[in-house]
Homo-oligomer: A and B are copies of this chain.
Amino acid sequence: MTSQQVRVHNLTVSRDGYAAGEGQSLERPFGHADLAELMAWILGTASFPGRTTPGGSRGVDDHLAREFHRHVGAEIMGRHKFGPQRGPWSDHEWTGWWGAEPPFHTPVFVMTHHERPSFTLADTTFHFVGGEPEDVLRQALAAADGKDVRLGGGADTVRQFLDAGLVDTIHVAVAPLDLGGGSRLWTSHDELTDRYEHDVVPGRHGVVHHLYWRE
Contact = CB atoms under 8 A, between A and B. Distances in A.
A200 B60 contact: no
B146 A58 contact: no
A213 B213 CA distance: 24
A63 to B, nearest CB: 6
A199 B62 contact: yes
B59 A201 contact: yes
Given A3-B71, A58-B200, A211 B63 contact: yes
Interface string A187-215: 00000000001111100000000010100
A147 interface: yes
B211 A146 contact: no
Interface in A60-101: 60, 62-63, 66, 71, 73
Interface in A106-159: 146-147
A200 B46 CA distance: 13
A169 B58 CA distance: 16
A60 B200 CA distance: 8
11 contacts: A3-B147, A46-B197, A58-B199, A58-B200, A59-B200, A59-B201, A60-B60, A60-B201, A63-B199, A63-B201, A146-B146
Interface of A: 3, 46, 58-60, 62-63, 66, 71, 73, 146-147, 197-201, 211, 213
